[in-house]
Structure 1
Amino acid sequence: MKVAALLIADPEGPDPCRLVHGAPLLRHAVAGLLASGCADRLVVAVPKSALGDCEVIIRAVPGAGSRCRVLACGADRAESARLALDAAGESADVVLVHDVARPFVPPATVRAVAEAVLAGAEAIVPVLPVTDTVKLVSGGVIESTSDRDRLRVVQTPVGYRPDVLGKVCARGSDPLSDLPGSVRTVAGHPTALRLTTAFDVAVAEALLEEQG
């Protein structure tokens, strides 16, 4: 199995060089993908303004070496994913698309996504059940209650068969959010939350401290 991982830093998202839990966000994300043991090569798309700093961060990650290439991201995640896919080449059996803002995805989750694609799935996404009560609201008025038994919180990495991801990128869609109808699911993990606010960071660090 040959697996290529595309790690995308959203231009509008958190700074990949931001320190979280003692190290840059980007370092955690790269190290987590490599720790899965299934990523043969890694393409990282980061904001052009942070390109030099990100290259230094990645070079310091044990095992990154020649497996990792860094490039400037596009105007949005869809373009960034397309650029990263082009840079990854065409020899992979599985392509993982991951969000830098989710740096604490356990290696076991990464492997589960890759293995599900290798087993025949066209696309795979890790998910968690929704535990809150969800209401449908219109004009400030509650109209109905959604059946949360059928709702899931979507995480990353999203695993793709290369030809399926190619079609997603060709139509200009974001492969992290505009998922194809054929996507299936595997179990996500609580530490894989997206770090966009100071509260998110505090929650992630508390979870990691509890586990450690």
Structure 2
Amino acid sequence: MSHAVHGLLESGCVDRIVVAGPARHRAAHPLPTFDDHRVLFVADDAVAADPGAVSQPDPVSQPIPVSQPDAVSQLDPVSGPTPGTALRAAWTASAPGPDDVVLVHDARRAFVPASVGSAVVDAVREGAPAAVPVEPVADTVKVVDAEGVVHGTRDRSLLRHAQTPVAVRAGVLGELLTGDSGVTDLVELLVRLDGRARTVPGDPHGMCVRTPFDVAVIEALLSTENTA
């Protein structure tokens, strides 16, 4: 979490960061303290119980009001009762204007370079409704049926690995989050942005760190770079 937050602060294009997750997780696994008034923590437990309610922000980290066009808010969904409640809690707490740019980031991609965040923001400011960082697919991708029988090979030149942060114009994100068919998590957000999202180059450091193997890979990568 600390790496994810500091990386976004270093991008130079973020006015405030909203970290959303269940309060019980914060009690069991205390989050790092940030000496920066742009960082705000909210709990999504209240949203799970009452979709119209959002728990009070952490009093030690209050948000900066966003009043200027193209201001950037950072929504950082963390696993809660559902990923969607965290996303909605962060959205409600940030209250961006329709012309603001919002970054939705997976904290497990904590080592993505700050330049990637800047690139997706720039793409939206230049007119794209949304922008997502991507990496080319290097492996051969096979199409199989339910029985595991191979039925073809996908053209990997047309495939990309999606990373975060994803930048979205706030007005567009608001439409996707509201209503009975509202977006429930980051994966669905990416699906619903099909046809509207521009891509920008991602980075190998933007890998999602989920398993002990992933941790070993990122530690080795960082160790090599620090000694180079």
1:163 equivalent to 2:157? Answer: no
Q: Which moved further from structure 2: 202-211 or 151-160? A: 202-211
Matches within 5 A, 1:109-120: 109-120=116-127
- Show the counterpart of 1:206: 220
**Corresponding residue pairs, total:** 183
Larger % of strand: which? 1
Q: Is the contact between residue 191 and residue 208 of structure 1 (CA under 8 Å) also seen in structure 2? A: no
1:68 equivalent to 2:74? Answer: no
Structure 1 Cα separation of the partners of residues 84 and 141 of structure 2: 29
- Show the counterpart of 1:19: none
Q: Which runs of 4+ in 1 moved over 6 A?
A: none
- Show the counterpart of 1:7: none
Q: Is the contact between residue 18 and residue 40 of structure 2 (CA under 8 Å) also seen in structure 1? A: yes
TM superposition shift of 1:209: 1.9
TM superposition shift of 1:136: 0.5
SS in 2 for 1:210: helix
Q: Is the contact between residue 19 and residue 90 of structure 2 (CA under 8 Å) also seen in structure 1? A: yes
SS in 1 for 2:175: helix
Query: C-alpha offsets along residues 21-69 of structure 1, whole Å, 9 cap, x if unaligned?
Result: xxxxx1111111111111101100123223257765133xxxx522111
Structure with the greater relative contact order (CA < 8 A, sep ≥ 6): 1 or 2? 1
Q: Is the contact between residue 46 and residue 54 of structure 1 (CA under 8 Å) also seen in structure 2? A: no
- Show the counterpart of 1:9: none
The AA in structure 1 aligned to 2:163 is Q
Q: Is the contact between residue 22 and residue 81 of structure 2 (CA under 8 Å) also seen in structure 1? A: no
Matches within 5 A, 1:6-155: 26-52=1-27, 57-59=32-34, 64-73=35-44, 74-91=80-97, 93-138=100-145, 139-155=147-163
Identical pairs, percent: 45
Normalising by structure 2, we get a TM-score of 0.75
Q: Is the contact between residue 105 and residue 191 of structure 1 (CA under 8 Å) also seen in structure 2? A: yes
Q: Is the contact between residue 126 and residue 185 of structure 1 (CA under 8 Å) also seen in structure 2? A: yes
Structure 2 Cα separation of the partners of residues 27 and 129 of structure 1: 28
Q: Is the contact between residue 103 and residue 168 of structure 2 (CA under 8 Å) also seen in structure 1? A: yes
Structure with max Cα Rg: 2
Q: Gaps (5+ residues) in structure 2? A: 45-79
Q: Is the contact between residue 129 and residue 153 of structure 1 (CA under 8 Å) also seen in structure 2? A: yes
Q: Residues 71, 176 of structure 1: CA spacing in aligned structure 2 closer, same or farther, 3 A cutoff?
A: same
Q: Residues 174, 127 of structure 1: CA spacing in aligned structure 2 closer, same or farther, 3 A cutoff?
A: farther
